[in-house]
Chains A and B, each alone.
Chain A
Amino acid sequence: MKLNELTLKSAINLLDKKEISLKDVYSDVFQKINEKNKELNIYLAIDKKAEAEAEKQKNQPLRGLPIAVKDNFLTVGLPTTASSKLLDGFMPPYESAVTKKIKEAGGVVIGKTNMDAWAHGSSTETSDYGPTKNPRNPDYLPGGSSGGSAAAIASDMAIAAIGSETAGSIRQPAAWCGTVGLKPTYGRVSRYGAIAMGSSLDSPGPITKTVEDSALILNQIAGRDENDGTTSPLPVIDYTKNLKKGVKGMKVGICYIDHPKIKDTEAAKSIEKAGKFFETMGASVELITTSHNLEKNKVLSHEHAISVYTVVQRAEVSSNLARYDGIRFANDRSYFGHEAKNRIMLGIFGMSKDISREELVYVYAQKVRSLYIKNFKELFSNYDILISPVSPSFALPLGATSGDAMFGELQDMLVEPSSLAGICGISVPNYKDEKTGLYLGLNIMGDYFQEEKILQAAYAFEQGTKWNPWIK
C-alpha cells in the first residue's frame, strides 16, 4: 500500500509504532502529486519544503502530516487567491485562524486547493485557473466550491483537507468525490482569515477520508476565537471520545425524498436504504413529509431556501467583495470574473428598493430564513438526526455549469435549508455507481453544536456499510 493512501488515523498509528516514516509518507504524496496534479488541476500552490517542516512537528497531535487547504484561507508563505485572478500572486501578511490551529497542532499545509472563484459555485469549474477534474472519473466535475480539497482527498494527494461551506460547498464536493465532508455549526469554527463570502453562513470544516479523521481535525480547529465574534463560547469536546457509541435509541428523520423531483432518483433510493440501515442498528426511523408551509412535524420545503439563499448570499457577497479596491493589495475590480460580477451586482440590486414590495427583499428573505430555523428547532426537539441526499444527482460532466446562472443553487438545494439555519451536517459516501465510478453522499444533519451526534451516526454508517473506499 502506498502511504499517501493512509487515513489520518492510520498514519498517526503507524508513525507512533515507527512502522512508517514521515519521509516515506511525503515521498508517496509528492509522487502522486507529480503524477496527477497536472491532469486533475487540484493544487494551485504547493509547499515543496513541506517535508522539512513536517519533521519539526512529528510529536504534535497531527504528527507533521500533509493537509490540503482550500485557497480561500490566508496562509503566510503560500499565495492565496480564492481561485480569482484578481488576487493573483497575493501573499497574505497574516494567517487564518483555521490554518494557524492546524499548524499549531502539527499539521503541515502541503498546498492550496482549487475552488470556484471566490467560492461562488458548486463545480470548481468557475475557477479562474481552470476546472478541477473528479479523481473518480476525470470526465466529471468534482463539485464545489471546495472541489480541490475533496479531489485532493479522493486522489490521495493529502492525508486530510480543509474546505469551507456557505451552502453545500463542503458536503456536495465531498459527496461527488466519494469522501467525508463535515460542515460544522455556524460559529463552531472561526472564519478569521478565511476570504469572506456569505458572512452569516460561512463555516470552515474538514474534508477527509473517514469520519474518524473528520473528528480528529474538528478537535483541532473548533472553538471560540476572539478574532471572530460569531464563534461560540461553548466548550470544545473531544469528538473522537464517543464516536463509536452507535445509533441505538436514536430517532432518525428522513427529509426531502418525497419531493416530486427527488422521488424515484438513485439519490432518494439510497437514502431509503440508509434509513433501513439505521433501523437495523437500533434507531427508530421515520419519513418526514415535505411541506410548502411551516407545519408541525413536517420539513419545510427546500425550494424556498434556494430563494432565501440567493438573496442573502448575494447581498453579503456584494458587501464583502467591496473591499477589493485594488489599492492596498491585489488587482483592480476589472479582474472579477463573470460569476463574481453577477453576484455582486445582484446583491446590490437585492438590497435596493427596486424589487421591494412593501419591504426590502433582503428583509423578507431573512424572515423566511427564520422559518427554517424554527422548523429545524422544532424537528430536533423530536429527532436526534435528520438525513437526506446531499445532492439530487451524481457528479455532472465537465462543462455542465456553462450559461446556467442558478447551477449551484440547484445542485445544493437539499443542503441549503440546513446552511441557512446554521446547523451542522456531514456527508458520507452511501452509494457508488460501478459503471462511472461516481459516488452519492448521505447528508446527516444535527441540531446546533451537535457535531458529536452526527459524527456518531456517520461513523456507524461508514463502518456498517461498504461505501467508504478507505474502510477495508
Chain B
Amino acid sequence: MQTAPGPIVEIDSVTKRYVRTVALDDISFDVAENELFALLGPNGAGKTTLIEILCTIQRGDKGSVQIAGLDVAKQSREVRKRLGVVFQEPSLDTRLTVAENLDFHGRIYGVPASVRRRRKEELLELVELAGWRDRLVRTLSKGMQRRLEIARALIHDARLLVLDEPTVGLDAQTRSRIWEYLRTLQQEREITVLVTTHYIDEVEDCDRLCIIDQGRVLALDTPQGLKNRYGYHLLRLTPQDEEVRHELRHRFGEALAERGKDLVMAAPEAEALKLIEELGDKLKAFFVERPSLESVFLSLTGYEVRDEVAGARERLLEFGRRGGEHTQ
C-alpha cells in the first residue's frame, strides 16, 4: 500500500486504564514516514490519552510505543528531541510576545541562535503571523494562538509533528487554513504529521486515517480505501413509468425507499454501477452519490443515527446499512 520507508511511529498493543474507564484497549498501528496521518474519534475515544503516551508525558499500562526506532518509555529524552507537539489545551505563555514564545522554545530545545532566527521568520510567514511578532499572545485570537503553537512546535528539528485537535473550536476558515499549513509542512519539510480530530469533514485529504472509538481501532486505511470498504454508494432512481417502479420494488423490496417520485437505495460501488447499466433506459434519470467518510463513520460506529433525530439523510444511511452486506 504505502511506498514510504519504515514506520516512524510504531504502536504495539497499548492499553491504558483509568480508575473506571479503559481509555485505550489494546491499540496497535504504525504511522509511516512523511505521512499526513489523521486519528479520528468522537469525544472520549482516547485520542488525547494516546497522544500523551506518544509524547512521553504519560505511560501506558501495557504495550510499547516506538518513535523513530526509540522506545518512548525508555528513551524519552531522545524521543522528545524529535517530537513537535501541539496539545489539545493551549500551552503558550500569554504574557510573552509571539516572538518571545518562539525564542523560548528554541532555547529549551537547544536550537542555535542563527537557526532559531531563520526558522522563526520562516514559520511566522507560514502561519501568517509575521506582522504580530511583538504582540503579547494574550491579545491574539484563538485561531492565531493555535497557528502560533504550530509554528512553535517546528522551531526545532522535529521529525514528527503531533497535534491533538488543533482545530477544535475554530471557525471553518481557520480550520481549513490550519490543514493547509499542515500539508505544506509535511511536503516541504518532509516531516510526518499525526493529527487528531473529531471533525469528519477535515480528514478527507489526509494520507491515512485511523478511526478509533472507545479506545479501540475500528478501521485504518486511506480515506478512499475506507470509503471503498465501509462506505456505500447512494442511488437515486427516477423510473420511466409505473411498471418499472413496480418491477424495481418487487425486486429489491425493503432495500428500496420511496422518495417522492424517486426510489433510493444504498449499494456497494460495483453493484450500483452494474444496476445503472442494466436498468439503462428504464430510467428517466438517475443520480449516484459517492460514499462519504461520514457514511463510513456511521457504519463503523453507528453513531448519529442513534443519537440524533433521524433526518432524511440518516434514514437513508440507516437503510443502506440494513440492506448492505458489509455491515459490521
A and B together in one complex: no
